[in-house]
Chains A and B, each alone.
Chain A
Amino acid sequence: MKRHLLEAADLDRDDATLVLDTAAQIDQALAGREVKKLPTLRGRTVVNLFYEDSTRTRISFELAAKRLSADVINFSAKGSSVSKGESLKDTALTLEAMGADAVVVRHSSSGAPHRLANWVRGSVVNAGDGTHEHPTQALLDAYTIRQRLGRVEGVRVAIVGDVLHSRVARSNVGLLHTLGAEVTLVAPPTLLPVGVGSWPAEVSYDLDAVLPKVDVVMMLRVQAERMNASFFPSAREYSRRYGLDARRMGALPDDAIVMHPGPMNRGMEIAAEVADSARSTIVEQVANGVSTRMAVLYLLLGGAPQ
C-alpha cells in the first residue's frame, strides 16, 4: 500500500482486494461481540480534518478509528481555510506538530488532500475532495457489491446521475475498473464531464435501455441547485428521465441491487419504495463504511512503528 489514500488510482488490484479482505476479517472478528473494539491502533492519533459539513462520513471515520482504539481528534474547519484565516498549510503544520499519525481530510476543493500530503509526515486519507474523489466510498461500495453478489469482477454496474460533480462517481469508476467490473455511466449529457470518453466506462443517456443489463445500479445524489444552472429543466423532468422508481426497478434482473451513497433525495433520484426495497443496500453501505474505513486505517497505520 502507498502511504496515502488520495484517489482510487492509489490502489492496485492487490491493494484493493487486501482492503476488502481485511474489512471482511474485521467484520468476522467483531461479529457477535459485545465490545466492538480492537486494540490495533492504541496510542496512535487520527485527526478528522473536515472543511465541509459531512456528519455521516465524519462519524463513520470516527467510529472506525475508535473501534481500532486510536485517539481521535475532530478538527472542524467549516468553510474554506482561506475564509477562516488559517491556510491549509498552517493547519497541516499544526497537526504535524501535534503528532498526527493519520489525517482524514474532507475539503470542498479538489486536490486539497494532495496538497496536504506534501506537508505532513503522517498518512493522508481523502474523505472527499471537491468534485474529485472519495476513495473510501468506492471501497465500501465494492465491499457491499462483493457481499451481496459474491464477486466484483465481471459485475455490470450502472452509475446514474450527476457524474460531472460527483467524487463518488470518479472513485467508483476507477476502483470498479481496477477490480474488473464493467461500468456504465448514465446521465443527461449536461451532467457528464467533457472528457468522459477517456474514462474506463461506457456512457449512456438512456436509463431504461441500461437497467435490464446491469447487476448493480448506483444512484447519485442530484442537488436541486443544479437546476438553476440549466443542467436540466426541472426536478420533475429529471426525475422522470433519470429517477429510479418502482416501475424502472422492475426492469432490473432478479438479483440486481440498488445502491446510493446518501444522503438521498427521496422522490428525486430515487423513489421511497425503491430505497426501502429488498434490493436496496443503502443501510448496509453505512455499516460497511465503518469496517472498510477500519481496514484502510489499519493497513495505512498498522505496519508503522509506534
Chain B
Amino acid sequence: MTSYLIKGARPLGGDPVDIHITDGRISAIGNSLDATGAEVVEAAGLIALPGLVDLHTHLREPGREDAETVETGSRAAALGGFTAVHAMANTDPVADTAGVVEQVWRLGQEAGLVDVVPVGAVTVGLKGERLAELGAMADSAARVRVFSDDGHCVADPALMRRALEYVKAFDGVVAQHAEEPRLTVGAQMHEGDRSAKLGLTGWPAAAEEAIIARDVLLAEHVGARLHVCHVSTAGSVEILRWAKSRGVQVTAEVTPHHLLLTDACAESYDPVFKVNPPLRTDADVEALRAGLADGTIDAVGTDHAPHAVEDKESEWAQARPGMLGLEQALAVVIETMVEPGRLDWAGVADRMSVRPAAIGRLDGLGIRSQGRPIAPGEPANLVLVDPAARATVDPAALASRSRNSPYAGRELPGRIVATFLRGTATVLDGKATR
C-alpha cells in the first residue's frame, strides 16, 4: 500500500504540519517528518479536513443506471471530498430488504471510491403502509442504521411512531422526509409571492413544519432518535431549536442548494431548479445558515439527485424534482458559511464529517470508521481543500452521469485537491485516481 507524506497542510485551518499516512492510517503528524519512500503530496496553503460524510445521496442503482450508478456517484462523491455517503432507498427495486441493501453495499465496495452506506426503507415499497424488515437490514452485511422513505413522507402518525420505537433495538434512526402529503398535492414550488405569479402550485412551508412538529413530539414521547432530512424553512429551524432545548433526540440536515438558492430561480421555468422540498425565500435561506452556524442544524446533506436529461428537459410540472450536489457541496458551504465568517474550518468538519458520521453511527472504531479526528492512529480519511481557488461550474465536466446541476455557470470557491479513503488516494491533483 502506498504511503503518503502530505506536506504543509493546515488541519482544520490550524498551523501547517506534515501528515504521514501508512497502512491506511495516520502514522504521524508533525513538522519536517522523515518519511522515506512515501509519495509526497505538496499541500502548502491547503486545508486538511476529515473525509466528508453525506447522510443523503441518491445513487440510482439499481434501477436508473442511465442517471447514475454506484460507481459514477462514488466518483462524484470522492471528487467532492467525501469518504462516505448514505445511499437512499428509493431505488428500483426499493432498498427495503436485506438483499437489496447488501447489493448496494457490495457495489460500493467494488467501486472502492467511498464507503457506500445503504439506507433502508422504513416501509415496504416506500408505500407508507407497513414496516419493512428493518431488523433484517440492520443485521445484514450492510449493517443499516439509517432508515428513510425519502422522496415520500412517513405520513401515518401511528406508523411513524412504531418505526421510531422499533429501530431503538439496534440503535437505528428514522430520517424523515417531512412533507404532509395532503398539503402538497401537485405542489411544484414554494408557496408564496412567486408561485402566485408563476401559476405553479404551491408547496407551503407549513406542510414541512407540521410534520417536523409532530415527529419531534413523537420522538420525545417514545424516547427515540429522529433525523430530519433537508430542512428548508425558517419555521422548521425554530421548531428544531425548541425541540433540542427540550432534550429531544433530534438531528437535522440542510442541503447545499437550500443554503444558496431561492425560489427566484423558478422564474426561469427551468426544471433544473425544481427540487423537493422546493427552494424557499431569502428569509428561509438566512434562517438555515443561522441554524447551521449555531448547530440547530447538525449536518449538511447533499440530497444529490441525478436525473436523466429527458426527465429535466421538459415542462416544469412534468420534470422530476432533484439536483446534483456532491461535487459542489463543500464549495457552497465555503461560499455561504466560511467566507462570510459564520463557520470556521473546525465547524465545517463538524457539520460535514463528525456529526453526520455520528448520526449514521459510523463514528466507532470499526472498519467503517468515519468522522474521526485528524490524529495519529486514526484511519486516514482525509480531504485537502484549496480555499483560495475559484472555478466556474461546468456540468459537462462533472463525474456524475447526470448533468442537472443548479450551479451551472456559477463561480464557486474552493477546490478539492485530494481525497484519501483509509490511506488510499481516491482523488489526487483534483482528479479521480480511478
Contact = CB atoms under 8 A, between A and B. Distances in A.
A82 B318 contact: yes
Contact of B314 (A89, A114, A167): A89
A280 interface: no
A130 B269 contact: no
B192, B199, B202 pick with most chain A CB within 10 angstroms: B199
B315 interface: yes
A100 B230 CA distance: 44
Interface string A190-225: 000111111100000000000000000000000000
Contacts of B188: 110
A130 B317 contact: yes
Interface in B70-95: none
A196 B315 CA distance: 24
Given A81-B318, A89-B313, 20 more contacts: A80-B315, A81-B314, A82-B318, A87-B314, A88-B315, A107-B315, A109-B316, A109-B318, A110-B317, A115-B314, A115-B315, A131-B199, A131-B201, A132-B200, A167-B199, A195-B192, A195-B193, A195-B194, A195-B196, A197-B193
Contact of B197 (A88, A112, A114, A170): A170
A132 B200 CA distance: 7
Interface string A254-284: 0000000000000000000000000000000
A182 interface: no
A143 B144 CA distance: 66
B194 A115 contact: no
A299 to B, nearest CB: 24
A197 B268 CA distance: 22
A32 to B, nearest CB: 41
B266 to A, nearest CB: 9
A87 B311 CA distance: 10
B123 interface: no
B317 A198 contact: no
Contact of A109 (B196, B197, B315): B315
The 4 closest A-B pairs by CB, nearest first: A132-B199, A111-B269, A195-B196, A193-B196
A111 B318 contact: no
B314 A195 contact: no
A111 B192 contact: no
Contacts of A52: none
B310 interface: yes
A195 B317 contact: no
Contact of B317 (A109, A114, A193): A109
Interface of B: 188, 191-202, 204, 268-270, 310, 313-318
B269 A194 contact: no
Contacts of A198: 193, 196-197
A167 B195 CA distance: 13
A164 B425 CA distance: 55
Nearest to B268: A114
Contacts of B318: 80-82, 109
A81 B193 CA distance: 28
A129 interface: yes
B193 A111 contact: no
Interface string A129-149: 111110000000000000000
Interface of A: 80-82, 87-89, 107, 109-112, 114-115, 129-133, 167, 170, 193-199
Contacts of B270: 115
A197 B192 CA distance: 10
B315 A112 contact: yes
A80 B315 CA distance: 9
Contact of A195 (B195, B315, B316): B195
Nearest to A82: B318
A193 B316 contact: no
Contact of A193 (B202, B268, B313): B202
Nearest to A111: B269
B191, B194, B195, B317 pick with most chain A CB within 10 angstroms: B317
B194, B196, B202, B317 pick with most chain A CB within 10 angstroms: B196
A111 B316 contact: yes
Nearest to A229: B185
Nearest to A130: B199
Contacts of A111: 198-200, 269, 315-317
A87 B308 CA distance: 14
A170 B197 CA distance: 7
A194 B268 CA distance: 20
Nearest to A113: B269
Contacts of A114: 268-269
Contacts of B192: 194-195
B195 A193 contact: yes
A95 to B, nearest CB: 16
A87 B319 CA distance: 11
Given A114-B269, A115-B269, A170-B197, A194 B202 contact: yes
A133 B198 CA distance: 8
Nearest to A80: B318
Nearest to A170: B199
Contacts of A109: 315-318
A110 B197 CA distance: 10
A20 to B, nearest CB: 24
B196 A199 contact: yes
A129 B200 CA distance: 10
A111, A193, A196, A198 pick with most chain B CB within 10 angstroms: A111
A257 B197 CA distance: 27
B204 A194 contact: yes
Contacts of B199: 110-111, 129-133, 167, 170
B187 to A, nearest CB: 12
A193 B195 CA distance: 8
A89 B191 CA distance: 28
A88, A115, A194, A197 pick with most chain B CB within 10 angstroms: A115
A82 B314 contact: yes
